[in-house]
Structure formats: structure tokens, C-alpha cells
Chains A and B, each alone.
Chain A
Amino acid sequence: QKEVEQNSGPLSVPEGAIASLNCTYSDRGSQSFFWYRQYSGKSPELIMFIYSNGDKEDGRFTAQLNKASQYVSLLIRDSQPSDSATYLCAVNAGGFKTIFGAGTRLFVKA
């Protein structure tokens, strides 16, 4: 079992819909959780991070964390074609090592 698991997708949603991306992790000691967006051939770009249970909203993005279920998600409201990318979930269990999931490919259809 990988330490950070994501559905590889592709996840396809119509423009204007809500895209829901999910991630589970195995280390119960994990403390910080990150969502990165990566366009093909480009570097990962930090979208949000969350470290407390509950929701955290930033513009069209909402991160949700449930430590009891070891689950973190990212909701993208009013999805745009420019949101089409791979979304990487990353988890830090303290210290300097952050583990990335394999990413979910999102396609937003115009």
C-alpha cells in the first residue's frame, strides 16, 4: 500500500461544475497536507495546505481534512478548462520529508 493514495483518473467534469479530488494517507502521525497543481512538463504549484480537521476555503478551492478517516480532499467550484491539470496530494508527517501521491488527472470540458 502506498503511503499516499489518489485515484489516477482521469476525472472529467463539465465547465462550471464542482470537481472533487480525493486522497488517503496511511501515516496517522501526518500533520500537514498539501494540494499541488501540475501542468504537463511544468513544476508543481502549491494551491492550498491544511493541517486542522475541517474545511479551508480559498477562492474557488476548498480543502477538507478528516484525520480520523485519514482522508483529505480538494473541491474546485466553477471548474474552468484552465483547471485541467494533474493534482498532487502531498503529506508531511513532521520533519522534512513530504510524500506525494501519484496525482489525479482532471479534465474540464468546455
Chain B
Amino acid sequence: AAGVIQSPRHLIKEKRETATLKCYPIPRHDTVYWYQQGPGQDPQFLISFYEKMQSDKGSIPDRFSAQQFSDYHSELNMSSLELGDSALYFCASSPPAGTHNEQFFGPGTRLTVL
């Protein structure tokens, strides 16, 4: 079965640089979520999109922005990167409304900021 695809899988950036993470949800899933997970921590919800509109917002810094495109893929744009942004970034998708928002996670992008 198709799963959530994330790219790149690994990314190394310098402080103050920008990064773009991409997420391709499971086919026919219309909701995408972004999470940040630091070492030894639980996933922290950043932002979600439903039908290409922002549906909820969590602890996403103002330096970050995201969007969902017409093909339902999503991109997380991160600017003015800081050392503390080093983490695993997961994207998850869930099937159309009427289910219980079970989320299926992608493999993650490991971002290292030097």
C-alpha cells in the first residue's frame, strides 16, 4: 500500500539559511499534518491543512510557513534557521472527513542545523 512520502530524508543547513520540506500524502487523503520531534521528545504539532486550507495551527514559529497545493502535497518552508530547529520533521496524512482523524506518518526528514 502507498504510504506518505517525504523529501528530502536528510537535510543539513547552516544557521540563518532556509529549508523546504515536502510531503506527499497517501492517495485520496485530504488532510496533512506537520510535526516536529526533538531527541527524546514527543511529536509536537506544528500545522495542518484540510482541502488546501489551513485547518489548525500549533506551535509553529513565525519563521516557518506551510501550504497545501492542488494535488494535496504540502511544503513546510523554514527560514532564518536556528540551531534549535534541528529535529525530525514528520508529515502525516489522514483520510477524508467522517473517519476519526487517524493519522499515518511519513518516514520523516531529519534536519540538522550547523
Contact = CB atoms under 8 A, between A and B. Distances in A.
A97 B90 contact: no
Given A43-B90, A96-B31, A96-B56, A102 B42 contact: yes
A97 B58 contact: yes
Contact of B100 (A31, A41, A102): A31
Given A96-B55, A96-B101, 11 more contacts: A41-B88, A42-B107, A46-B102, A46-B104, A51-B100, A88-B43, A96-B31, A97-B45, A97-B58, A99-B45, A102-B42
Interface of B: 31, 33, 41-45, 48, 50, 55-56, 58, 88, 90, 100-108
Contact of B101 (A42, A92, A102, A103): A92
Q: Which 3 A-B pairs have the closest CB atoms?
A: A32-B100, A43-B105, A96-B56
A45 interface: yes
Contacts of B31: 96
Contacts of A95: 55-56
Contacts of B58: 97
A79 B33 CA distance: 31
12 contacts: A31-B100, A32-B101, A41-B88, A43-B105, A43-B107, A88-B42, A92-B100, A96-B48, A97-B45, A98-B33, A100-B44, A102-B41
Contacts, number: 57
A61 interface: no
A96 B33 contact: yes
The listed residue with most B CB atoms (<10 A of its CB), out of A88, A92, A96, A102, is A96
Interface string A47-66: 00101000000000000000
A96 B108 contact: no
Interface of A: 31-32, 34, 36, 41-46, 49, 51, 88, 90, 92, 95-103
A103 B45 CA distance: 15
